[in-house]
């Protein structure tokens, strides 16, 4: 059975989860989570999405966000690829850091949004890592209580679903968390009425293998940047030429594209090469 196509339209809200390959840790050192947050903040500014909640566990993570024009697939590909490249380079290893493609659920219901907020922020409590969500600094819970405001999380929308007044909304939010059912480990399911995504005039089905227009534009921008610095034209970079200068410039483009969070398959398609070529070029 083929993969379920992702649905994209500006303003869509998603609960995103991804895990370490074979259940392994994706955050090993103390600096890893701040490093991930740095990449997340940069991509947030670049793609103009809103981040409502997050939680970074040792071997998986949760995000609750609302996209603008740039699709979720592109956003997550940039974030996960950049983080993977940095971690693998520092550890001097190759291979997949994350397990398969990320999972997402479309959120189109206020009550479902509140359930997701509670599920994400209570994750470390359910895992037995802490006894209270305020003890886990790697989630957005402290932003919702007002104890922290680092600018990464947008709490206004989430708090407005509890009460119009911000102070009262925080109290209602905490009461809501305390009512979390004991042993409620399952990820909340969308309400039946939202099981089938609502029709939207700007909705786009994103099938596997479709190269997003934003990625093509990114690749062309990076290609022109390499062309200016090396004197090798964009046409030559995308040609089958094995000229030494063109080959060196092509490798530079591959490394630059990977550092910008563009995936191996997208780079390969843009250059008319195989993913194996991209992988080898990145290692040279």
Q: How confident is the model at residue 196 (pLDDT cuts 50, 70, 90)?
A: very low
Mean per-residue pLDDT for 218-243? 90
- The candidate with the shortest Cα–Cα distance to 212, out of 145, 151, 261, is 261
Report the pLDDT value the prediction gives residue 50, as an integer from 0 to 100.
95
The CATH code for residues 6-206 is 3.30.70.1290
Rounded CA separation 6/51 (Å)? 19
Report the pLDDT value the prediction gives residue 276, as an integer from 0 to 100.
75
> How far, in Å, are 26, 59, 214 from residue 21 at the CA level?
8, 9, 27
Distance of CA 56 to the CA centre of its chain: 12
Burial environment of residue 95 by CB neighbours within 10 A (0 to 12, 13 to 18, 19 or more): exposed
List strand residue ranges (DSSP E) for the chain, in order: 6-8, 13-19, 50-56, 60-66, 103-107, 204-206
Mean per-residue pLDDT for 225-234? 91
Domain coordinates in residue numbering, the chain: 6-206, 213-283
Report the pLDDT value the prediction gives residue 150, as an integer from 0 to 100.
87
Report the pLDDT value the prediction gives residue 212, as an integer from 0 to 100.
55
Q: How confident is the model at residue 192 (pLDDT cuts 50, 70, 90)?
A: low
Mean per-residue pLDDT for 30-47? 94
Mean per-residue pLDDT for 194-202? 41
Query: Given phi > 0 = left and psi -120 to 50 = alpha, else beta, which region is 22?
Result: left
pTM over 0.85: no
Beta-ladder partners of 104? 16
> How far, in Å, are 53, 82, 246 from residue 49 at the CA level?
12, 18, 37
Per-chain mean pLDDT for the chain? 84
pLDDT: is 209 or 164 the higher one? 164
Query: Is the pLDDT score of 1 beyond 70?
Result: no
Tokens of 198: 């609502």
pLDDT: is 239 or 6 the higher one? 239
Mean per-residue pLDDT for 62-75? 93
Report the pLDDT value the prediction gives residue 137, as an integer from 0 to 100.
96
pLDDT: is 134 or 264 the higher one? 134
Q: What is the pLDDT of residues 142-170, one digit of tens each?
A: 999 999 998 999 999 999 999 999 999 99
């Amino acid at each position: 059975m083929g993969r379920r196509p992702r649905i994209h339209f500006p303003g869509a809200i998603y609960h995103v989860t991804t895990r370490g390959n074979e259940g392994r840790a994706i955050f090993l050192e103390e600096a890893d989570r701040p490093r991930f947050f740095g990449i997340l903040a940069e991509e947030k500014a670049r793609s103009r999405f809103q981040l409502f909640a997050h939680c970074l566990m040792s071997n998986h993570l949760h995000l609750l966000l609302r996209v603008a024009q740039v699709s979720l697939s592109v956003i997550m590909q940039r974030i996960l690829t950049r983080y993977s490249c940095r971690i693998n380079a520092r550890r001097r290893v190759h291979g997949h850091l994350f397990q398969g493609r990320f999972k997402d659920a479309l959120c189109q219901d206020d009550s479902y949004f509140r359930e997701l907020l509670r599920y994400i922020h209570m994750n470390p409590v359910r895992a037995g890592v802490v006894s209270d969500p305020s003890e886990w600094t790697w989630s957005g819970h402290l932003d919702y209580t007002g104890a922290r405001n680092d600018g990464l999380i947008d709490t206004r929308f989430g708090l407005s679903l509890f009460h119009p007044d911000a102070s009262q909304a925080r109290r209602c939010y905490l009461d809501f968390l305390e009512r979390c059912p004991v042993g409620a480990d399952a990820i909340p399911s969308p309400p039946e009425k939202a099981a089938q995504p609502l029709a939207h005039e700007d909705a786009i089905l994103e099938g596997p293998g479709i190269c997003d227009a934003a990625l093509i534009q990114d690749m062309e921008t990076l290609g022109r940047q390499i062309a200016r610095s090396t004197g090798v034209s964009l046409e030559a970079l995308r040609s089958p030429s094995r000229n030494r200068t063109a080959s060196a410039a092509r490798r530079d483009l591959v490394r630059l594209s990977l550092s910008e969070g563009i995936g191996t398959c997208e780079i390969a398609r843009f250059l008319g090469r195989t993913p194996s070529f991209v992988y080898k070029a990145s290692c040279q």
